[in-house]
């Protein structure tokens, strides 16, 4: 059931009150006896004669006019008879004057009645106009500027599985004791050739199997391929480079993630920094991205975490570092491409830092525990988990490692084109409205200048969502409309509509843009509808829908 907010409810109630007041005013004016009192919208009143009173006055005026005519005739007769009787003539003349005076009075009264009638007619017209205006205002207030769209022709919620609520796909199958059973459900496809971790909707670190999608609070998580170069990331007792100043080095399971955690306590005086972990060597060319990330917290309120990249030989090949406050979300950075620090509800900060290698060389990533000034006091404790060093433009989900670096593969969700995409070849005349919710959590523009996240493969071109440096583009041919956006951004609704004349319209973040562009290769055929990952992007998508028709503007406004 649709709901309206309090302001709209008050406005509707006021509109109906004014309309009812005008109807009551008209009823008094048309049928009330004598003088009637009419109400104004502001609560004041005005009193005047009703229509029955005006009609009675007009009737009296007509009678008086007839009497005046008779009196004038009698005056003429009296004047003729005046020669016969002077006294009678005088009397008749006097009577004529009196009658004339009475006629004048009656004429004046009739004029007054006519004026009053005109005033009442004007008041009635004003009341009628006010009633019409009030009704129009009420209709405007009660008309909703959006409406619910029809049920989609294709619908994948991407909430906790890949099942379709509408659309075409092979029926799901289940194998039990060697027997393959066909289920009543259909699902979109999903591929990722490795396992992967994710934080579930309860905040706990989970592991997804090969080809198992990862669903978080914002929907389906999509990440490109990346490698973690910190070895034994899930076993802090084997971390390379841990400072001797940590007299106590425990491995615990801690935080909302319940991840394997380094618990280190300083037991040596005079330490100005204590390295927690160092990555294996990463060979980089100038301009390559390197990213460090981990979750951490400290009992030492004046403690910092230092994320640093440099050469293992100590030749300072463009050494860069970033300091994180160990108990809050503050950062101090130098020469950093991107850095974030988010304080979670469990007391852990999630810190990330990305830089570019300034010169060719071999680099390592280091994570240190440091004081803001001076030395770290004995007893200062730090907790560090999910440590990761990637040769990647953006930090991605945690990749557990053993004695060698581990790579997590990129992933892709897809739908068959038949019955879903809306055309057989891209040159066909077709209408389509497509919508989904998307959050681009991390984005660094790739060297090619863009990242295609949602598109129809095989067709040249049916690009639904292309992330550019400061905009989102959509193509149906060699070019298309775009809307400006600042990356990253939280969950928003994206809508694209295609008309039979190849007009491509985008709706996003309150903005709209259109362009008509014929397909560059009209005979090309779709092979799949792909939601695909990119190493430079981390995003979430949910509620993917297609209508094989154009939705109305109000229906598009109603999409959530």
User: Are residues 416 and 398 located together in one domain of the fold?
Assistant: no
CATH code of the domain in which 494 resides: 2.60.120.200
Angle at 288 between CA 287 and CA 292, to 5 degrees: 125
Closest CA to 401 of 283, 535, 229, 275: 229
Which residues are paired to 45 by β-bridges?
39
Domain for residue 153, yes or no? Answer: no
Residue 194 located in a structural domain: no
Do 287 and 321 share a domain, yes or no? yes
Same domain? For 373 and 271 the reply is: yes
Residues 403 and 494 in one domain: no
Q: Residue 27 gets which letter from DSSP?
A: H
Q: Is residue 171 part of a domain?
A: no
pLDDT in tens, the chain (560 residues): 456 677 777 777 777 777 777 777 777 767 777 787 877 777 778 787 876 777 777 676 666 656 666 666 765 765 666 566 566 545 555 655 666 676 677 677 767 767 776 776 777 677 666 665 655 555 444 455 778 899 999 999 999 999 999 999 999 999 898 898 999 999 999 999 999 999 999 999 999 999 999 999 999 999 999 999 999 999 999 999 999 999 889 999 999 999 999 999 999 999 999 999 999 999 999 889 999 999 999 988 887 888 888 876 654 444 556 666 655 666 665 567 888 888 899 999 999 988 888 888 889 999 999 888 899 999 999 999 999 999 999 999 999 999 999 999 999 999 999 999 999 999 999 999 999 999 999 999 999 999 999 999 999 989 999 999 999 999 998 899 999 999 999 999 999 999 999 999 999 999 999 999 999 999 999 999 999 999 999 999 999 999 999 999 999 988 88
**Domain closes at, from 408, 443, 472:** 408
188, part of any domain: no
CATH of the domain at 313: 2.60.120.260
Q: What pLDDT, on a 0 to 100 scale, did the predictor assign at position 184?
A: 93
3-state helix, strand, coil split of the chain in percent (to 5) is 20, 40, 40
Do 368 and 447 belong to one domain?
A: no
Q: For residue 395, give Cα distances in angstroms to 148, 235, 338, 367, 449.
A: 38, 21, 10, 15, 19
Which tokens sit at 391?
Answer: 């040769």
- Give the bridge partners for 532, in sequence order: 412
| pLDDT value at residue 446 | 95
Cβ count within 10 A of residue 466? 20
Q: Are residues 27 and 71 in the same domain?
A: yes
| 552 within domain boundaries | yes
Three-class SS state of 397: coil
Residues 257 and 362 in one domain: yes
Contact 290, 391 (CB under 8 A): yes
Q: Are 549 and 535 members of one domain?
A: yes
In a domain, 240, yes or no: yes
pTM of the model: 0.73
Indicate the number of domains in the chain.
3
pLDDT of amino acid 318: 45
Picking from 212, 167, 209, 163, the residue whose alpha carbon sits closest to that of residue 528 is 167
Q: Is the peptide bond before 7 cis (omega within 30 degrees of 0)?
A: no
Q: Are residues 403 and 500 in the same domain?
A: no
The verdict on residue 285 lying in a domain is yes
189 lies in some domain: no
Domain boundary among 110, 125, 142: 142
Same domain, 364 and 468: no
pLDDT at position 223: 98
* Whether residue 440 sits in one domain with residue 317: no
Domain boundary among 124, 142, 160: 142
In a shared domain, residues 362 and 498: no
State which residues form the domain around 445: 412-557
């Amino acid at each position: 059931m649709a709901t309206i907010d309090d302001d709209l409810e008050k406005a509707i109630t006021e509109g109906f009150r004014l309309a009812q007041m005008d109807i009551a005013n008209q009823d008094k004016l048309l049928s009330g006896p004598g003088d009637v009192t009419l109400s104004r919208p502001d609560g004041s009143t005005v009193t005047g004669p009703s229509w029955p009173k005006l009609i009675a006055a007009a009737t009296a005026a007509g009678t008086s006019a007839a009497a005046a005519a008779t009196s004038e005739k009698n005056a003429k007769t009296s004047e003729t008879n005046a020669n016969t009787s002077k006294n009678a003539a005088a009397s008749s003349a006097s009577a004529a004057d009196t009658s004339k005076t009475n006629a004048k009075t009656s004429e004046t009264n009739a004029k007054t009645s006519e004026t009053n009638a005109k005033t009442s007619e004007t008041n009635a017209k004003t009341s009628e106009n006010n009633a019409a205006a009030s009704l129009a205002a009420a209709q405007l207030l009660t008309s909703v500027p959006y409406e619910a769209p029809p049920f989609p022709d294709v619908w994948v919620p991407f909430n906790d599985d890949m099942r379709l609520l509408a659309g075409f796909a092979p029926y799901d199958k289940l194998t039990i004791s060697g027997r393959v059973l066909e289920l009543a459900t259909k699902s979109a496809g999903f591929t990722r050739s490795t396992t992967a971790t994710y934080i579930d909707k309860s905040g706990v670190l989970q592991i997804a199997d090969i080809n198992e999608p990862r669903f978080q609070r914002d929907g389906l998580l999509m990440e490109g391929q990346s490698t973690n170069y910190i070895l034994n990331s899930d076993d802090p007792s084997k971390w390379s480079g841990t400072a001797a100043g940590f007299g106590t080095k425990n491995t615990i399971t801690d935080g909302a993630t319940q991840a394997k955690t380094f618990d280190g306590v300083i037991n040596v005086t005079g330490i100005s920094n204590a390295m927690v972990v160092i990555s294996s060597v990463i060979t980089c060319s100038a301009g390559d991205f390197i990213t460090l990330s981990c979750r951490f917290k400290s009992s030492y309120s004046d403690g910092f975490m230092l994320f640093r990249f440099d050469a293992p030989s100590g030749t300072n090949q463009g050494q860069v570092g970033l300091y994180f406050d160990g108990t809050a979300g503050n950062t101090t950075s130098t020469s950093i491409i991107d850095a974030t620090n988010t304080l979670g509800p469990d007391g852990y900060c999630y810190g990330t830092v990305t830089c570019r290698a300034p010169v060719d060389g071999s680099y390592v990533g280091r994570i240190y525990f440091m004081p803001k000034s001076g030395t770290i006091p004995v007893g200062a404790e730090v907790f560090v988990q999910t440590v990761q060093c990637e040769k990647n433009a953006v930090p991605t989900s945690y990749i557990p490692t053993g004695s060698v670096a581990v790579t997590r593969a990129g992933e892709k969700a897809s739908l068959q084109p038949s019955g879903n995409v809306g055309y057989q070849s891209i040159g066909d005349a077709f209408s389509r409205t497509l919508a989904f919710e998307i959050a681009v959590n991390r984005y660094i523009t790739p060297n090619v200048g863009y990242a295609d996240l949602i598109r129809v493969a095989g067709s040249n071109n049916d690009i639904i969502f292309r992330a550019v440096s400061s905009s989102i583009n959509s193509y149906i041919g060699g070019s298309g409309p775009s809307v400006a956006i600042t990356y990253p951004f939280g969950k928003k609704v994206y809508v694209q509509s295609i008309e039979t004349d190849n007009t491509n319209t985008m709706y996003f973040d309150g903005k709209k843009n259109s362009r008509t562009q014929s397909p560059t290769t009209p005979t090309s055929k779709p092979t799949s509808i792909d939601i695909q990952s990119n190493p430079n992007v981390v995003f979430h998508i949910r509620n993917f829908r297609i209508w094989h028709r154009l939705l109305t503007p109000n229906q598009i406004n109603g999409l959530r």
